[in-house]
Amino acid sequence: MSDQTQKIIPVLRILDIAKAKEFYIDWLGFTIDWEHRFGENFPLYMQVSGHDIILHLTEHYGDCLTGARIRINMQGIETFHKQITQKNYRYYKPGIEKTEWNTLEVCLLDPFGNHLVFAEYLKNE
């Protein structure tokens, strides 16, 4: 087995570029790494990253459907939650929940029906 770390990069379907950028860039604080189109007036495929997370967002019909559910393990979820709630995003006022399985979680639904669950595992007390 190789010493290289394997990363899985979720691909999420988007239906409106402006709404996607408002949600992922302006509100969640991701940055656009790159954008690709096969030509003028073609669907967008882009990579966004932030908080040690990489996501691919696609307008391409054949790539995937809306309504995906992904779990994103992270550290510093309370800071992340504070950052996004301070921005006062008009479409979402998420809470932070301590679960029975010993995590803190922020559950979000993007404008296209994709579920993003940000989770931090707590140390055993």
Describe the strand order of the beta sheet including 115-121 as a list of residue ranges: 69-73, 115-121, 103-109, 97-98
**In this structure, what token pair is assigned to residue 22?**
């408002």
Encode pLDDT of 62-119 as tens digits.
999 999 999 999 999 999 999 999 998 999 999 999 999 999 999 999 999 999 999 9
H or E element in which residue 17 lies: helix 17-20
For the whole model, what pTM was predicted? Answer: 0.91
Q: Which residue has the tokens 């967008």?
A: 44
Nearest residue to 44 via CA among 20, 70, 26, 76: 20
How is 39-93 classified by DSSP, letter by letter? Answer: STT---EEEEEETTEEEEEE--TTT--S--EEEEE-S-HHHHHHHHHHTT-TT--
The CATH homologous superfamily of the domain defined by 11-121: 2,3-Dihydroxybiphenyl 1,2-Dioxygenase, domain 1 (3.10.180.10)
pLDDT average, residue stretch 4-30: 93
**In this structure, what token pair is assigned to residue 40?**
């003028």
**What percent of the chain stands above pLDDT 70?**
95
Average pLDDT, the chain: 94
